Amino acid sequence: MTVRVFVTGGTFDKEYDELTGTLHFEETHLPEMLRRGRCMLDVQVEVLMMIDSLEMKESHRARVVEACRDAAESRLVITHGTDTMVETAQVLSAALLDKTIVLTGAMVPYAFGSSDGLFNLGSALSFVQTLPAGVYIAMNGRYFTADNVEKNRNVGVFEERG
Amino acid sequence: MTVRVFVTGGTFDKEYDELTGTLHFEETHLPEMLRRGRCMLDVQVEVLMMIDSLEMKESHRARVVEACRDAAESRLVITHGTDTMVETAQVLSAALLDKTIVLTGAMVPYAFGSSDGLFNLGSALSFVQTLPAGVYIAMNGRYFTADNVEKNRNVGVFEERG
Amino acid sequence: MTVRVFVTGGTFDKEYDELTGTLHFEETHLPEMLRRGRCMLDVQVEVLMMIDSLEMKESHRARVVEACRDAAESRLVITHGTDTMVETAQVLSAALLDKTIVLTGAMVPYAFGSSDGLFNLGSALSFVQTLPAGVYIAMNGRYFTADNVEKNRNVGVFEERG
Amino acid sequence: MTVRVFVTGGTFDKEYDELTGTLHFEETHLPEMLRRGRCMLDVQVEVLMMIDSLEMKESHRARVVEACRDAAESRLVITHGTDTMVETAQVLSAALLDKTIVLTGAMVPYAFGSSDGLFNLGSALSFVQTLPAGVYIAMNGRYFTADNVEKNRNVGVFEERG
């Protein structure tokens, strides 16, 4: 089984820029994270963009849908900023691709010591192997279907729609 | 859904004892790891023992089977040393418990910076939610059924039986 | 010998706020860092403020001078943002306090895995024990007198004035 | 000013060997640590041996003395296991080299997240720049002269001789 991971950026891949004191993107950490997890699953990593999801426009999400459609693989993971992850999930759901697509991200950059990134990656890569075709979000150790999930911005976790 | 995690020790939970220069066990890191993963799944952590799996005897594995049988939950994760994880999986399989049981561990202690522990925990907690009743090992981003897995000790990864 | 560490904030103590995606201050990490270094020197930690040094006004620096003057100790370390560390060092130098005062900071927050914070703290605490009365900056493994140091903003290191 | 760092191993540089579950030596972490500290001091790193100091024999310590004597630099740091660091310091002291020599080590391997290694390295590199010719141990944020130091094995810290 091959899984393709599409990287779109988000907090997951942010880095601290010591010259400006701000957070920015450099290379994705996905390969390093897969090595750390000693992942023996056949994973193809493809960077689509490196963007904060608050800056995503319709064209960005369309690019994600197109990439998912064109991929040879039927099991896909997408790393994504958590702020508009639900929106991208819904756009993908509407595309009715006959694939298992799992979006995940992180509340704290992987570059930080206290990141949830590695936990979420392990989670998403596992859900994508067992869930039936459909679009899901994997966060906080759980999975949600694209039509029944929202980000609780007060607490910073994902939940079913209230 | 509630998942119970039974802790048995293994490399997963080893710590460096600075006074003796050796590795030993103190408190389990499971609660800290679940917090780091911002896990919102209802997880009950129960420590059965803190032991290197090379030191497990029949009585230890029987204790694990008993705990799995008595648990109210039908979805269980067991953290375990990787050296004899397959043996415990086989003993559990023979017990024919009608539950989804996923064993996992780590090649490098969580206390180390380069540990696979958090990745494996996220992985196991996800597989346990979606796999049907049976006994599995979750390592290296994959899952294996108890009757078809072995640890490749040369490379330090889990594979199907050759 | 007792050393007092005055905390003023700076990148040294910044944290990632996962709800807003920005960097901010919470509690100082100094006590935790001293524990990690297994520091047996008698160190008193006192938080004066938690501020990015770009936001320091004359009144902030005056507060720092006052605290140094009033301290019972004659050996003082000040953790400070690197952007205006030289300015505070010069204001302290002009105060002609008969004490050994060493300012230090970090280019990457201690909360990040790749921080120089712990290295700089060990460095500053050592210089403060051996240098004669005067005001110094300890960064990049070196020490500089307050009248002969500047931050090279292109490279992000401290150097003698060119 | 150039400082030469002689590496002899010790807990400082130990690594976890995931295939055997034991601690062992691979490459020294010194260059990586100097990069993390953004050290701009001119430091030459030379590996003399990679050994647990409990396994040092007279010939090993003689090798260290010889290297210190032959070095072009007059300011030297030696990374060393903490168990017999005092012995090596005393052998060096007896050699009456007219140099500033500072020994340091770590109670927890640098490879672990909770290591004192980086703190001690910053400390030693600072003491070596300011202390007069002599042999010293830099541990726990303090410095000790070779003739007045011992390791308190109950607590795992260095102190003056009681």
What CA–CA distance (Å, rounded) separates C49 from C59?
12
Q: Is B108 in Cβ contact with D113 (below 8 Å)?
A: no
| Whether the Cβ atoms of residue D122 and residue C141 lie closer than 8 Å to each other | yes
Instruction: For residue D37, give the nearest of D146, D102, D123 by alpha carbon.
Output: D123
Per the listing, tokens 């910076």 go with: B113
Question: Is B86 exposed, middle or buried (CB count within 10 Å of its CB: 0-12, 13-18, 19+)?
Answer: buried
pLDDT tens-digit series, residues D26-67:
999 999 999 999 999 999 999 999 999 999 999 999 999 999
**Which residues in B lie closer than 8 A to residue D108 (C-beta atoms)?**
16, 18
Contact C143 D159 (CB under 8 A): no
Topology (CATH level 3) of domain C12-159: Rossmann fold (3.40.50)
**Mean predicted lDDT score pLDDT of chain D:** 96
The answer, for A130 touching chain C at a CB cutoff of 8 Å, is no
Q: Tell if the CB–CB gap between C112 and A113 is shorter than 8 Å.
A: yes
Name the band, by pLDDT with cuts 50, 70 and 90, for residue D104. very high
Is the pLDDT score of A114 beyond 90? no
The alpha-carbon gap from C43 to the nearest alpha carbon of chain D, in Å, equals: 10
Q: What gap in Å lies between CA A96 and CA A69, rounded to an integer?
A: 10
Q: How far apart are CA A108 and CA C57, in angstroms?
A: 32
Residues of chain B short of pLDDT 50, as ranges, are: none
- pLDDT digit string, tens, across residues D136-153: 999 999 999 999 999 999
Contacts with D112 from chain B: Cβ below 8 Å: 16, 111-113
**Which residues of chain A make contact with B130, given a CB cutoff of 8 A?**
126-127, 130-131, 143
Angle between helical axes of D58-70 and D85-94 (0-180°, round to 10): 50
Rounded CA-CA distance B74/B69 in Å is 9
φ, ψ of residue B49 to 5 degrees: the values are -170, 165
Q: How far apart are CA C113 and CA C111, in angstroms?
A: 7
Contact yes or no for B118 and A122 at CB 8 A = yes
pLDDT at C162 over 80: no
Contacts of D138 in chain C (CB under 8 A): 126
The verdict on A55 touching C (C-beta cutoff 8 Å) is no
Q: Which of D1, D4, D123 has the most C C-beta neighbours within 10 Å, making it the best mutation to test the interface with C?
A: D123
Give backbone dihedrals phi and psi of A21, rounded to 5 degrees, phi first.
75, 20
Cβ atoms of D79 and D8 within 8 Å: the answer is yes
- Could A107 and B131 be called an inter-chain contact, meaning their C-beta atoms sit closer than 8 Å? no
Backbone angles phi, psi at D44, to 5 degrees: -105, 120
Contact partners, residue A96, CB within 8 Å, separation at least 6: none
> What residues in D contact B153, CB-CB < 8 Å?
19
What does the mean pLDDT of chain C come to? 96
Q: Give the nearest partner residue to B130 out of A118, A125, A131, using CB atoms.
A: A131
In this complex, do C142 and D107 lie within 8 Å of one another by their Cβ atoms?
no
Interface contact flag, D129 C143, Cβ < 8 Å: yes
CA dihedral angle for residue C69, residue C72, residue C74, residue C76, rounded to 10 degrees: -70
pLDDT score, position A113: 79
Surface of C (79-118) touching A: CB under 8 A: 83, 107-109, 111-114
DSSP state of A28: -
**Sheet harboring D100-104: ordered strands across?**
D42-51, D2-9, D75-79, D100-104, D134-139, D142-145
Strand A75-79 and strand A2-9: the pairing is parallel
- Is 90 exceeded by the pLDDT of residue A112? no
Whether C40 and chain D come into contact, CB under 8 Å, resolves to yes
Task: Answer whether residue C113 shows pLDDT above 90.
Answer: no
Q: For chain A, give every domain's residue range.
A: 12-159
pLDDT confidence tier of residue C48, bands split at 50, 70 and 90: very high
Q: Which residues contact A124 (CB under 8 A, 6 or more apart)?
A: A77, A102, A103, A104, A138, B126
In terms of phi and psi (left: phi > 0; alpha: psi -120 to 50; beta: otherwise), the region of B135 is beta
The pTM is what? 0.95
Query: Distance (Å, rounded) from C-alpha C143 to C-alpha C160?
Result: 10
Quote the tokens at residue B126.
């996800």
CB contact under 8 A, A143 and B129: yes
**Would the pLDDT of D162 be above 80?**
no
Which are the contacts of D39, defined by CB distance < 8 A and separation ≥ 6? C119, C140, C141, D125
Residue C61: per-residue pLDDT: 98
**Residue-level pLDDT at B124:** 98
Distance CA C18, CA A38 (A): 27
Closest CA to A145 of A95, A89, A78: A89
Residue of D nearest to B156 (CA): D19
Q: Coil, strand or helix: which one is A66?
A: helix
Q: Does C18 touch chain A (CB under 8 A)?
A: yes
Q: What is the DSSP string of A142-154?
A: EEEETTS-EEETT
Structure tokens at B81: 């040393």
| Residues in chain B closer than 8 A to D151 (CB atoms) | none
Query: How far apart (Å, rounded) are the C-alpha atoms in residues A136 and A149?
Result: 9
Chain D interface disruption, residue of B52, B85, B112, most D CBs within 10 A: B112
Closest C-alpha to A78, from A112, A16, A38, A28: A28
Percentage with pLDDT > 70 across chain B: 100
Residue C10 and residue C82 in contact, taking contact as beta carbons nearer than 8 Å: yes
Which chains are adjacent to chain D, needing at least 3 Cβ pairs under 8 Å? B, C
Residue D103, H or E segment: strand D100-104
pLDDT of amino acid D114: 86
Beta carbons of D82 and D54 less than 8 angstroms apart: no
Q: Which chains touch A (3 or more CB pairs under 8 A)?
A: B, C
Amino acid, res. C114: S
Inter-chain CB proximity C111 and A109 less than 8 Å: no
- CA-atom Rg of chain A in angstroms: 15
Nearest to A16 among C83, C112, C153 (CB): C112
> So what's the pLDDT on residue B155?
94
One-character DSSP codes across D9-37? ESGGGEEEETTTTEEEE-S-SHHHHHHHT
Place of tokens 């006192």: C46
Across C42-65, average pLDDT: 98
Q: Out of A19, A21, A108, name the one closest to residue C16 (CB).
A: A108
SS3 assignment, position A111:
coil
Choose from B126, B130, B151 for mutation: most chain A CBs within 10 A.
B126
Contact at CB, A19 and C156, closer than 8 angstroms: yes
| Element housing A126 (H / E) | helix A117-130
For residue A139, the chain B residues in CB contact (below 8 A) are 38
Chain B positions in Cβ-Cβ contact with residue D154 (cut-off 8 Å): 19
Instruction: Give A-chain residues touching C107 at CB under 8 angstroms.
Output: 18
Contacts of C18 in chain A (CB under 8 A): 11, 107-108, 156
Query: Which residues does chain C have within 8 Å of residue D33's beta carbon, measured at their own beta carbons?
Result: 119
Res. C155: pLDDT tops 80? yes
Residues paired with D47 in a beta bridge: D7
**Among the listed residues A140, A25, A143, the one whose alpha carbon sits nearest the alpha carbon of residue A89:** A143
What is the predicted pLDDT for the residue at D118? 97
CB contact under 8 A, B21 and D52: yes
Cα separation, C98 vs C128, whole angstroms: 13
Q: If you count them, how many residues does chain A have? A: 162
Residue B162 has a pLDDT of 76
pLDDT in tens, A69-108: 999 999 999 999 999 999 999 999 999 999 999 999 999 9
